[in-house]
Structure formats: structure tokens, C-alpha cells
Amino acid sequence: MAADLQIACGAGLRRVAGRPGLTVWRSALVLVSLLVGLVHAGPNVESWQTSVGAKVMYVHAPDLPMVDVRVVFDAGSARDAELPGLSSFVNGMLNQGAGDWDADSLALRLEERGIELGSGSLRDMAWVSVRSLTESEVLDAALETAREVIANPRFDAGAIERVRQQMQIGLRYSLQSPGTVAQRRFFRTLYADHPYAHSPSGEEDSLARISRGDLVRFHERYYVAANAVVAIVGAVDRAQAERIAEQLTTAMPTGRHAPPLPPPPAVSGGELRESFPSSQTHIYVGQSGMARHDPDYFALYVGNHVLGGSSLVSTLGEEVRNKRGLSYSVHSYFSPMRVQGPFLMVAQTKNDQADEALKVMRDTLARFVSEGPSEEELEAAKQNLIGGFPLRIASNGKIVEYLAMMGFYNYPLDYLETLTDKLAAVNVEQVRDAFSRRVSGQAGIAVIVGGSG
Amino acid sequence: MVRILLRTYLLGLVLVSLPAAAQVSEFKLDNGMKVIVKEDHRAPVVVSQVWYKVGSSYEPDGITGISHALEHMMFKGTEAVGPGEFSRIVSALGGSENAFTSRDYTAYFETLSVDHLERALQLEADRMRNLLLDPAEFAKEIAVVREERRLRTEDKPSGKVYEQFNAVAWRASPYRNPVIGWMNDLEHMSVDDLSAWYKRWYAPNNATLVVAGDVEPGAVRAMAERHFGPLQPSDIQSLKPAAEPQQAGETRVEVRVPARQPYLLMGYKTPIVGRSDEPWEPYALFVLSSVLDGGESARLARELVRGSGIAASAGADYGTYSRLPGMLLLDGTPTDGHSVAEVEQALRDAVARLREELIDEAELKRVVTQAVASKVYQADSLFYQAMEIGTLETIGLDWRLIESEIDAIKAVTPEQVRTVAQRYLVDDNLTVATLHPLPMDQQASQAPAGAGGRHGS
């Protein structure tokens, strides 16, 4: 869901909560939008370039003896070209041996120092994250290892076959869920032959076709300084942060930034039904949404917060869940991406209620598009977004993701500081106007997967 | 990636709290409600959590899932606050709220800007004693809960395996029932059942308030006294022990559902912190679990995923903290060309080696180092800090155990790890569940719906 939003509010919770089914939440943990930031005197964001040309975003957070580093590249699945899954494959190979270390010694080197290394790849961006204590021996080892992981992955033949197999099995596992099947089908339909059409996890046959040469070429082209943003948050001062950024990027060639993505195609609406051996039917209804830096960004974002920002307090939640008990998790969202991401409404209900749920969702959207939110609804949404700012940046882990996002999408350094004003300025007329121009109350694509289809 | 997808089950010990002289205050209201305040002044925000000592392990047969269903209804109105109003008020304050139910607890939380804490406490105090439980609201909400069950379990092969696994592993322990409840029980639950459950468990002397964030303990105390102080305590009846009898032989269950990947889940019954005759045992089990699966350098990743390559993923998980004894779990997914049986054998071999050989000092050192680093990292999350305190208190342990945890882990010896392997990781104490995938494209292959009983379908 929300493919290119990268802050999962569930992450910390899930770790504590343990096994699914062991802890059951009242409402689904939905990805929190990246839009929200801080109110007064947010973190002081500084930025500069490393000597090889990587952009750095930095915030000093002195309270805990730790540092978070996140290096993002314009190297997501939108760069896969003819080989869906290539970006994820390359990303998954990074920690499987780099520089002088094979996968075993690399893992040991990190873990015997308590260093955490992560990585991932979505449609727009691919990233490597490092969390380390600030103790110098530990931090040096973390940076040295991360530098090699990013710049000099080995792409050993055995590791390639292992990761290929893991990706294929991961893909099959995800296709056991009717929700995943519906989401993939939605993107394929909405984006047709656009690079956003396929899932970052690829396809079984494309994964089988990817060669070592493909991996090496992709890495050489996209994991370069001109295509990178380094975000740093922690108990390191500016001078230390500069050294950290240099250490991390020194082995990286300067290279070139990835080329612009084409605009998404115009796709007309339609209804697609697919059977699935499930007791619930998953519904994905939507259309083309907005890009980062879209002039309607704030009106659409705040408007959607009223429409379906959460399962509990939103018009969709009220109509589908609270009034009718049709679905546990129902919400809508815009995924603002490099070029237009989707606008989506999502719900799931037992098979014989699917048509009713779909109708309620469509009627709710149509009414919202034609009438817009009430003054009270809009005010409540703005209060939630503005009042909630401090929560969204209350940890180093959250701030570093914001920095990476801001650097990646070229937001100004005062982005977070000016957000509340921009949210506060949104009025009912702007929302109504933006939705009536940008969102069709009638058409759109509906993908319905479950039961007998 | 794959590992993350498959291992959502298997997360390590909840390693808790920060070493830096944690500013924690504790006090009790006259009505018996405990309040614990953890100061963290990094940002002007606060997490408020109200924990009730009730969860699925408190539930008798026939009404499984009632704690969770009640949790849903806690948002459906009191005399003072209408249905859904709670969420709208917190939302308009810029806050987020949610709730969760587990085997051993039900908890409600708000995360907000610190100046709105009092309103959150006022709302929580109100619904602790004044819930309305309207039958029409219940009829809709129980339908939502059944949809939730379909989403989490009915249509999720790994969820089904986990449910069936617990159902056969535990004979008497209430851990055999799913937190969300059996579908048949959800279909026959009434608002009167909920009303009785609410009266029995929702009282200040069965609750703990945990507040973490940019607060002064004195101010929290005053607020807690203002809002929770006037609430009457209840006579909370103690639970029967429901102790699990000694298992006397391996138990197996096969789950046949439409799926694309086979899967294996194994568990050995183990003691837990605070309930073990020898207090070091749970910590030795934690170390053991981390030797198997404490990251990419741990044995299962190194030997099964990378070495022999028979598993696409393999994991281990030991829950240190629970109200009743739990299990050390192992799981795995075979790669193409290998079978679940081979993965099972490899996991059994890994366990046998722990029974026979001492772990390396280097492995032990790695586990300790990771535990120490985790303590620092976890201090970055306010929610986590409150969660660990609430969990321990609610399962009947002292939250101060958090502070001695690292020392307890450091004290574990390789001999102790071998000893707990010999004592608990034995075949007679083992349950094994396997997922046997049926074709995805055959509707007829679905388990019959509403087949009744302990069926999970």
C-alpha cells in the first residue's frame, strides 16, 4: 500500500507487538503520510555536498549516543526498464558481500558491534540505512562497511542465485494475499506501459532472466553520488557529520543523476474482477493522483484527510465501517511520487458484500467530489494535521526519513517549518475546486479480487 | 524483502529501556490504580497508555475474542461522549489513538502534544466506568471484527498455521485460543456477554496508567487523581491458574489451504521470566534464541539460508515476557527443490547441536553487544518505552526488571545455554505445524466455511 510512502508508523509497534495474531489492533496500521512535519522551531536542517557530489541533509540530535544514516538513490523500480524486479534485486545484493567481505564476514562485522544495516527499494527510491552507536570504533566500522556495501557490492554468483530464489519465494508468498494481487493489478492497469506499472518485487519470469551483468550495470549507473542523498541524524556535530558523509561516499563515483521519468499515460476507467480462494474480496478503486510539488498538493492532501485519511475518523470510515460494519480497514490516499502517483480507495469485505461496499465507496467519493468537505470537517482535519506535527518528528528514526525524502524530492530546507502555514491556508473552496478538477467522481479503475470474482 | 515478509512472526525478545538513569516515577491512587511516569524531554509530546489486566488468556471457551471485541466497543460511546466521538476529539487535538489486545492485556493509547494530556486522561477515565454498550452499535462493530478475522486469519495461510499450531500445542493453557477469537464464538457473541466482561475487568484497581514523554510526574499525578481518582474500585476475582500439563510426546498438525509456498512452524514449551524456578533460565533461552537468529550472522541465516541453502528463510523467536509459560519458536520456508521435511530436519539438527555442544564465546559476546546497543536504539521510541513498562506491569512483573535485563543476559554462560537446551528443547516437548499448499485456482479446495468447532475456517 502507498507504495512510495516510506514512513511506516507500524514499524516500532510491530517489533513490540510480535507475532501477528498475538496482538490485535483496533484499526489497521496505515502508513502515515510524509507530508506532516513540525510546528514551531523544528529541527535545524543543514545541507551540503560531499566532495564527490552527493547531497547531504543533516540534523543534530544530541540526546542519545547513536546516529542514523540513510542513503537514498533514484534507483527504484521505475528504473527497472525491461526487467521488473531488477532494482530490488540489486538492492538485495548489497549486503550479500562487498569489498573484502563475503556475506558471512560482513554480517558478523556489523552485528558483533551492534550495528543495524537495512535496505529497500520501492518505485521511486532505493536506500541503505545504518544505525550505530557513536562510540568511535563502532561508528568507523559502520561507515567503512556501509561505504563498501553501497559502492563495492561483490555480486558473487552463489549469492545472486540465493537472492533470486528468495525474491521468487517472497513474491509467491505475497501473491497468497488477494490484497497484493489487487494492488498489483491496479498499478498495471493504471500505468499500462509506464515504469510505475510493475511491482518493485518483479515477476517470476523477469526475476529468472536477470543476469549478473544486468545487476552490475544497474548498480554502476544508479548507485552514484550525483544520484544520491545522504541523510544524517544523531549525536554528531556538523564537523563529524561532514566526515561521516565523506567517509560514506568516498568510494562512490560521481556519475549522473537518473533521467526524468515520462508522464503517466491517460487511462480510462474500468472494472476488473478476479476470482481468488478467499472469504473476503479486496477492493482497490482509484485513478491517477498527484506528483510531488503538485500545485494542488495541499488541497488534495487535506481534502483526502477528510475523505479517507483513517479508518476511524473520515467520511469513508464513517460510511463503510462505522455505519455499515462492512470493512475493518478502509481508507483512501494519494501517493505523491516523482511523477503522478495514484489516488486510491481501499477496503475489504466478505465476498457477498463486495458490491455493496464498492457502491458505498463510489457514492461517498462522488458526493465528496461534488460537495466537498464541510467547514467543520475541514477544520477538524487541519487541526489533526497541524496539531499532530510534533508527534511526527519525535524520534531520530522519523527525522532521518523526512530528511531523506526532502533531499530526494528537492524540497527546500525550510520545508518542515513552512508546512503548518500551508496546511492552515487550505480552505473548503480550494479542496472542492481541486477535487472537482483532479478526481473523477464516477470513472476511475476498480479492481475487485476475491471469492468467485 | 523475503526475510522480512516471512519473518513477521519471529521477532526477538523485547529488550527494554535505556540505561541512562531512566527517570521513572511510580505511585498508586487510593482506588488501587497504578500510575507510572517515564520522563523523556526530547520533544514536547506524550504517550498515554491505559493497560487493563485482561486479554484472550482470561477468556473461557465459548466467548473467545471477547476482550478484543470489547476493545472495539470502547470507542462506541459513554453517557458523556457519543459513538466515535472519542476518536474525533483526539484527532482534533492533533493526536493519534488506537488500542490493542493481546493474550495478556488490553491497552488503549493516545499520542499527543503534551498540553493535551489532561483531555486524554479525562476521556480514558470516563470510558473506564461509563461505557454504554449500545446493541445497535455492537451489531455493526462485531461485523467489523469478523471482517478483521477474515483479513488476518481466514485468508492468510501463515495466520491459519499459527492458529492451528497453538490450538494443538496447548491442552489446558488458554494460549490455545486465538486473540481475535474463533469465528463461531464471534458469531454468537452478545452485547450482554460484553457487558458482563466489562463489569468484571474494567476498574481502576485492574488498570495501570503509563505516561511517557515531556511531563513532570507531579503534574501527571495531579491529573490522574482528578480524573481516575473518583472512580470506584471493583472486587476483581483472581483467575484459576489453568496450568499446562507436562507434554508427553511430539505433537503434529498439518494445515491444508490454498497457498503458493510451504511453511514450517515448530515450538518447544519453555519457562518465562518470573515464573521459572531458576531465574537465569529465561535469559539463557533468550541467548540461545539469539545464537540461532540474532541477525544475518546468526546460525540459521549462516547455515540454513546461506550455507546449505535449503531454506529461503529460517527464524527463531523466544518470548521472554508473558503471563503464562510460552514457547521457543522456530520457523522456515524451503527453497525450491527442498522440502519442509528437510527444513525441519535442519532445524532439529541445529537444536541438537545446542544440546550437545557449548556455544562459542564469540557468539555470546555478539548477543550481549547487540542487546546493549538495542537498549540505546529503543530509547529513540517514546511509544516503546511506555509499552515495555505497561507489558511488564500488566503480566504481574515489576517494570524494574527492564533495568536488570542486560546484567542478566551478561551473566549467562555457554553451559547454561546448553542446559536449557537439554531441559526444554526435547522432542517430547515439541509441536510441529506444516503448511501443505493446495492449488490456488481450485475453489473447491477451500476448507468448508462454517464447519464449526475448533476449525478456524
Q: Is residue A88 part of a domain?
A: yes
Contact (Cβ atoms closer than 8 angstroms) between residue A10 and residue B383 = no
**A46-75 average pLDDT score:** 97
Interface test with B, best of A38, A40, A391 (most B CBs within 10 A): A391
Contacts of A81 (CB under 8 A, 6+ apart): A195
Residue of A107, A329, A393 lying closest to B297 (CB–CB): A107
Of A182, A215, A249, the position where a domain reaches its end is A249
Q: Is A98's Cβ below 8 Å from some Cβ in B?
A: no
Placement of cell 544524517 in the chain: A232
Statement: residue A10 has pLDDT above 50: no
Contacts of A430 (CB under 8 A, 6+ apart): A298, A299
> Identical fold at B19-227 and B251-445?
yes
Tens-digit pLDDT profile for residues A292-351: 999 999 999 999 999 999 878 999 999 999 999 999 999 999 999 999 999 999 999 999
Statement: residue A22 has pLDDT above 60: no
Dist CA A309 CA A300 (whole Å): 11
CATH code for position A103:
3.30.830.10
Statement: residue A193 has pLDDT above 50: yes
Contact (Cβ atoms closer than 8 angstroms) between residue A75 and residue A222 = yes
Q: Is B311 helix (H, G, I), strand (E, B) or coil?
A: strand
Query: What is the enclosing helix (H) or strand (E) of A241?
Result: helix A238-249
- Note the pLDDT of residue B445: 38
| Inter-chain CB proximity A394 and B42 less than 8 Å | yes
Range 381-440 of B in CB contact (< 8 A) with A: 381-384, 387-388, 391, 440
Q: What's this model's pTM, rounded to 2 decimal places?
A: 0.92
Scanning every residue of chain A, which has its alpha carbon at the shortest distance from the alpha carbon of B83?
Answer: A322
Q: Phi, psi (5° rounding) for residue A333?
A: -160, 155
Q: Is A275's Cβ below 8 Å from some Cβ in B?
A: yes
Contact (Cβ atoms closer than 8 angstroms) between residue B311 and residue B337 = no
Contact (Cβ atoms closer than 8 angstroms) between residue B12 and residue B294 = yes
Statement: residue B449 has pLDDT above 50: no
Q: Is B313 helix (H, G, I), strand (E, B) or coil?
A: strand
Question: Which residues constitute the domain of residue A220?
Answer: 41-249
Q: Is residue A212 part of a domain?
A: yes
Q: State whether A204 and A288 are in the same domain.
A: no
Q: State whether A189 and A98 are in the same domain.
A: yes
Scanning every residue of chain B, which has its alpha carbon at the shortest distance from the alpha carbon of A202?
Answer: B1
Q: State whether A203 and A345 are in the same domain.
A: no
DSSP A1-37: --TT----THHHHHHHH-SBTTBEESS--PPPPS---
| Inter-chain CB proximity A23 and B100 less than 8 Å | yes
First to last CA, chain B: 29
**A374-382 average pLDDT score:** 96
Instruction: Count, in order, helices (H) and strands (E) of chain B.
Output: 16, 11
Q: Is A276's Cβ below 8 Å from some Cβ in B?
A: yes
Q: How many Cα neighbours within 13 Å face the side chain of A356?
A: 13
* Residues of chain B found within 8 Å of residue A14, distances taken between Cβ atoms: 8, 11
DSSP, res B13: -
Q: Is B24 helix (H, G, I), strand (E, B) or coil?
A: strand
| Inter-chain CB proximity B445 and A104 less than 8 Å | no
Q: How many Cα neighbours within 13 Å face the side chain of A401?
A: 22
Range 314-353 of B in CB contact (< 8 A) with A: 317, 319, 333, 335-336
- Note the pLDDT of residue B1: 29
- Note the pLDDT of residue B442: 58
A355 vs A182, A184, A317, A446, B145, CA distance in Å? Answer: 16, 21, 17, 11, 20
Superfamily for B19-227? Answer: Metalloenzyme, LuxS/M16 peptidase-like (3.30.830.10)
Handedness of CA B172, B178, B184, B186 (dihedral sign): positive
Q: State whether A82 and A213 are in the same domain.
A: yes
Cβ–Cβ pairs < 8 A, chains A and B: 276
Dist CA A19 CA B372 (whole Å): 23
Range 111-140 of B in CB contact (< 8 A) with A: 111-113, 116, 139-140
Q: State whether A243 and A300 are in the same domain.
A: no
Q: Is residue A35 part of a domain?
A: no
* Residues of chain A found within 8 Å of residue B91, distances taken between Cβ atoms: 310, 312-313, 380, 383-384
Helices within B130-280 (DSSP H only): 135-149, 157-169, 183-187, 191-201, 217-227
Lowest mean pLDDT among A187-196, B10-19, B401-410: B10-19
Range 178-207 of A in CB contact (< 8 A) with B: 178
Contacts of B190 (CB under 8 A, 6+ apart): none
Range 205-244 of A in CB contact (< 8 A) with B: none
| Inter-chain CB proximity A21 and B153 less than 8 Å | yes
Range 144-163 of B in CB contact (< 8 A) with A: 144-148, 150-159, 162-163
Tens-digit pLDDT profile for residues B267-310: 999 999 998 889 999 999 999 999 999 999 999 999 999 999 99
Structure-block grid coordinates of residue A201:
518485487
* Residues of chain B found within 8 Å of residue A323, distances taken between Cβ atoms: 140
Tens-digit pLDDT profile for residues B122-145: 999 999 999 999 999 999 999 999
| Inter-chain CB proximity A103 and B296 less than 8 Å | yes
**B241-264 average pLDDT score:** 97
Please tell me the distance in Å from B217's CA to the nearest CA on chain A: 20
Query: What is the enclosing helix (H) or strand (E) of A46?
Result: strand A46-49
Q: Is B15's Cβ below 8 Å from some Cβ in A?
A: no
Scanning every residue of chain B, which has its alpha carbon at the shortest distance from the alpha carbon of A172?
Answer: B260
- Note the pLDDT of residue A339: 97
Q: Is A413's Cβ below 8 Å from some Cβ in B?
A: no
Provide the CA B36 distance to its chain's centre, in angstroms: 21
Q: Is B100's Cβ below 8 Å from some Cβ in A?
A: yes
Query: How many C-beta neighbours within 10 Å does residue A182 have?
Result: 24
Q: State whether A205 and A311 are in the same domain.
A: no
Q: Is A27's Cβ below 8 Å from some Cβ in B?
A: yes
**A242-252 average pLDDT score:** 97
**Strand ranges across the sheet with A24-25:** A24-25, B96-101, B106-113, B45-52, B207-213, B34-39, B24-28
The residues that bridge with A44 in the sheet, in sequence order, are none
CA-closest candidate to residue A434, choices A273, A259, A277, A303: A303
- Note the pLDDT of residue A188: 97
Query: How many C-beta neighbours within 10 Å does residue A303 have?
Result: 30
Which amino acid is residue A377, in one-letter code? E
**B5-13 average pLDDT score:** 29
**pLDDT category, B444, cuts 50, 70, 90?**
very low
Of A249, A280, A303, the position where a domain reaches its end is A249
CA-closest candidate to residue B101, choices B23, B169, B179, B186: B179
Q: Is residue A13 part of a domain?
A: no
Number of domains chain A contains: 2
| Inter-chain CB proximity B155 and A280 less than 8 Å | yes
Q: State whether A326 and A232 are in the same domain.
A: no
Of A249, A281, A303, the position where a domain reaches its end is A249
Tens-digit pLDDT profile for residues A383-420: 999 999 888 888 999 999 999 999 999 999 999 989 98
Q: Is A314's Cβ below 8 Å from some Cβ in B?
A: no
**B220-244 average pLDDT score:** 97
Domains of chain B, residue spans: 19-227, 251-445
Query: How many C-beta neighbours within 10 Å does residue B445 have?
Result: 14
Q: Is A364's Cβ below 8 Å from some Cβ in B?
A: no
**pLDDT category, B47, cuts 50, 70, 90?**
very high
Higher-pLDDT residue of A43 and A129 is A129
Lowest mean pLDDT among A13-22, A50-59, B204-213: A13-22
- Rounded to 10 degrees, the C-alpha dihedral A104/A110/A115/A118 comes to -50
Beta strands per DSSP E along A100-143: 101-102, 116-121, 126-133
Dist CA A273 CA A281 (whole Å): 10
CATH class, range B251-445: alpha beta
| Inter-chain CB proximity B377 and A131 less than 8 Å | yes
Dist CA B9 CA B293 (whole Å): 13
- Note the pLDDT of residue A268: 83
Contact (Cβ atoms closer than 8 angstroms) between residue B115 and residue B157 = no
- Note the pLDDT of residue A26: 60
CA-closest candidate to residue B142, choices A322, A325, A313, A330: A325
Q: Is B232 helix (H, G, I), strand (E, B) or coil?
A: coil
**pLDDT category, A23, cuts 50, 70, 90?**
low
Please tell me the distance in Å from B30's CA to the nearest CA on chain A: 31
Q: State whether A203 and A136 are in the same domain.
A: yes
* Residues of chain B found within 8 Å of residue A178, distances taken between Cβ atoms: 155
Q: Is residue A376 part of a domain?
A: yes
| Inter-chain CB proximity A173 and B261 less than 8 Å | yes
Lowest mean pLDDT among A39-53, A92-106, A357-371: A39-53
How much is the ipTM here?
0.91
- Mean pLDDT computed over every residue of chain A: 91
**A140-144 average pLDDT score:** 98
* Residues of chain B found within 8 Å of residue A164, distances taken between Cβ atoms: none
**B184-210 average pLDDT score:** 98
- Mean pLDDT computed over every residue of chain B: 92
Contacts of B383 (CB under 8 A, 6+ apart): A12, A13, B47, B109, B111, B212
| Inter-chain CB proximity A19 and B101 less than 8 Å | no
Scanning every residue of chain A, which has its alpha carbon at the shortest distance from the alpha carbon of B329?
Answer: A19
Q: Is A13's Cβ below 8 Å from some Cβ in B?
A: yes
Q: Is residue A107 part of a domain?
A: yes
- Note the pLDDT of residue B447: 38
Q: Is B77's Cβ below 8 Å from some Cβ in A?
A: no
Q: Which long-range contacts (CB under 8 A, 24 or more apart) does A99-102 make?
A: A99/A148, A99/A152, A99/A154, A100/A148, A101/A145, A101/A148, A102/A154, A102/A156
Q: Phi, psi (5° rounding) for residue B110?
A: -130, 140
Dist CA B159 CA B257 (whole Å): 11
Interface test with A, best of B381, B385, B388, B402 (most A CBs within 10 A): B381
Scanning every residue of chain A, which has its alpha carbon at the shortest distance from the alpha carbon of B294?
Answer: A111
| Inter-chain CB proximity B301 and A108 less than 8 Å | no
Scanning every residue of chain A, which has its alpha carbon at the shortest distance from the alpha carbon of B293?
Answer: A111
Range 142-171 of A in CB contact (< 8 A) with B: 162, 165-170
| Inter-chain CB proximity A395 and B381 less than 8 Å | yes
**pLDDT category, A14, cuts 50, 70, 90?**
very low
**pLDDT category, A33, cuts 50, 70, 90?**
very low
- Note the pLDDT of residue B8: 29
B437 vs A44, B151, B157, B441, CA distance in Å? Answer: 53, 19, 9, 12
Please tell me the distance in Å from B335's CA to the nearest CA on chain A: 7
Which amino acids of B are annotated catalytic? Answer: 71
Statement: residue B451 has pLDDT above 70: no
Statement: residue A269 has pLDDT above 90: no
Q: Is B187's Cβ below 8 Å from some Cβ in A?
A: no
Q: Is residue A130 part of a domain?
A: yes
- Rounded to 10 degrees, the C-alpha dihedral B212/A61/A13/B375 comes to -80
- Rounded to 10 degrees, the C-alpha dihedral B38/B39/B44/B47 comes to 0
* Residues of chain A found within 8 Å of residue B177, distances taken between Cβ atoms: none
Higher-pLDDT residue of A18 and B353 is B353
- Note the pLDDT of residue B10: 29
Q: Is residue A337 part of a domain?
A: yes
Q: State whether A357 and A284 are in the same domain.
A: yes
**pLDDT category, B323, cuts 50, 70, 90?**
very high
- Note the pLDDT of residue A27: 57
| Inter-chain CB proximity B147 and A328 less than 8 Å | yes
**Strand ranges across the sheet with A280-288:** A270-274, A445-449, A280-288, A342-350, A331-334
**A23-37 average pLDDT score:** 45
Residue of B144, B155, B159 lying closest to A321 (CB–CB): B144
Q: State whether A188 and A334 are in the same domain.
A: no
Interface test with A, best of B96, B300, B324, B436 (most A CBs within 10 A): B96
Contact (Cβ atoms closer than 8 angstroms) between residue A323 and residue A363 = no
Q: State whether A227 and A368 are in the same domain.
A: no
Query: What is the enclosing helix (H) or strand (E) of A182?
Result: helix A178-191
**B150-167 average pLDDT score:** 97
Higher-pLDDT residue of B20 and B430 is B430
Dist CA A6 CA A266 (whole Å): 26
Q: Phi, psi (5° rounding) for residue A56?
A: -115, 140
Dist CA B25 CA B352 (whole Å): 45
Structure-block grid coordinates of residue A251:
568510494
Please return the burial class of B208, using the count of CB atoms within 10 Å of its CB with bins 0-12, 13-18 and 19+: buried
Structure-block grid coordinates of residue B370:
547487540
